[in-house]
Amino acid sequence: MSESEFYDRKTRQLRLLSEALESGRLAPVKRMLDTLTAGEIARVLESLRPDKRRVVWGLVDPDDDGEVLVHVADEVRDSLVREMDNEELISALNSLDIDDLADLVEDLPQQLIEELLRGMDRENRDRLEQVLSYPEDSAGRLMNTDVITVRADVAVDVVLRFLRMHDEMPEHTDHLFVINRNGRYIGRVALTALLTSAPERTIAEIVDDSHPAIRASATLDNVAEEFENNRYVSAPVVDGDNRLVGRITVDDVIDLVRDRAEHDLMSMAGLNEEEDMFAPVALASKRRAVWLGINLLTAFLAAWVIGKFAHTLEQIVALAVLMPVVASMGGVAGTQTLTLIVRGLALGQVSWDNARDLVSRELAIGALNGLLWALVIALVAWAWFGDWRIAAVIAAAIIINLLFAAFSGVLIPLVLKRFAVDPALAGGVVLTTVTDVIGFLAFLGLGTMFLL
């Protein structure tokens, strides 16, 4: 299915559902919901204003409630939870895997958490507490403790008989994990290897020990990188003593990557990816006002620089006409570099170790583009105002600003990362300030020097 077809299908679903809700016909809405996955229902709920959302949430199959709560954004989840009584909520939570439950449980009222834990059997309670003992941004928090393990000295035939005793296996089970008598991880055995090996062979003969397990303390970025590099469907997770404590599956990593992408996209506008699209106007306005205020301060800084050249602008009106061109070119060039570096930081490809090489490369690109577009803009300015000096000034300013934009686009996200500030969140504001200030300073300064 192409991207346009996917978009058309989603918009058609939303349109039909909205029409049914407006007409008061709930039976078609219920039938539509029954055909959707939990993730699709979550997206539908996020697309509806609160009054319609409450109606649709009441029509969702109770067996799907838990999975839907996992997939919706935090603020939407809070609004849905408020519509449920404790009995409904606990029933929904009890249907979840341990890793999904760990994502939700800390956001619930303490009284409800205690009631949930009391209702769980000892094994599941210990598993949940184990997962919650790891930091939020770690592999241990993402893992599921539901794993199938075997010993290395067991014959293939015995393992196959053992598997047949299970009514079902955990989702995305493509390997069994091999451990020793102390629970330490040895390697993994693919189900395909089990099915194609001679029954009398031992697991030790067919074990794959070429892929080390993921440490429970590893960051989520490391987890995503491991899955990308090794094309894992599932991967074992071990503690500091190499004891197998769980596994991570590809569906959780896909959710992780999508969440990170949404975070980067929304952060560039100073927004939160977990924000409800239909949050109260006053609350949404308050959140956005913070970054508007920060942007206003940076705008005043650029205005102050312009004000220092008020006399020049009064004498040469052409400079005021051409000023936005200089700022715009620097802003676009800097944003291109910034986006590249922020992406590289997220993928672990950029650090201070290769910063010098990146700066050199981006400066070369900035110089080449600067020369090209400075020539084009200078010719336009010369034809427009008939003064070669104005053309030369704007050409020089364009080159200077594109070089500073390239330099800043590399260093700003690295510096912000060093000070534990999200580059995707703050980088754009800082970069725009730099390119505006340098652009105006170069253009108006050169104009004052050579045109007056």
413 touches 427 (CB < 8 A): yes
List the 214-215 sheet strands across, edge first: 214-215, 234-238, 244-249
**In this predicted model, which residue has the larger pLDDT, 404 or 75?**
404
β-bridge pairing 185-190 and 214-215: unpaired
Beta bridge partners, 246, equal: 237
Lowest mean pLDDT among 144-148, 234-238, 407-411: 144-148
Statement: residue 193 has pLDDT above 60: yes
- The whole-number pLDDT of residue 177 equals 94
- The whole-number pLDDT of residue 289 equals 67
DSSP type of residue 274: T
**In this predicted model, which residue has the larger pLDDT, 302 or 150?**
150
Region 299-313: mean pLDDT is: 81
- The whole-number pLDDT of residue 80 equals 86
Query: Cα(445)–Cα(427) distance, rounded to whole angstroms?
Result: 26
Task: Give the H or E element holding residue 190.
Answer: strand 185-190
pTM beyond 0.75, yes or no: no
- The whole-number pLDDT of residue 169 equals 86
Categorize the per-residue pLDDT at 264 as very low, low, confident or very high, splitting at 50, 70 and 90: low
Of all residues in the chain, what percent carry a pLDDT higher than 70? 89
Of all residues in the chain, what percent carry a pLDDT higher than 90? 27
Statement: residue 24 has pLDDT above 60: yes
Lowest mean pLDDT among 176-190, 196-210, 299-313: 299-313
Query: Cα(387)–Cα(53) distance, rounded to whole angstroms?
Result: 63
Categorize the per-residue pLDDT at 6 as very low, low, confident or very high, splitting at 50, 70 and 90: low
- The whole-number pLDDT of residue 422 equals 76
Domains detected in the chain: 3-133 (1.25.60.10), 149-250 (3.10.580.10), 281-451 (1.10.357.20)
Quick: pLDDT tens for 344-374: 887 667 888 888 898 999 999 999 999 999 9
- The whole-number pLDDT of residue 427 equals 81
Statement: residue 120 has pLDDT above 70: yes
Quick: pLDDT tens for 82-104: 888 888 888 888 888 887 888 78
Task: Enter the tokens of residue 353.
Answer: 């170790």
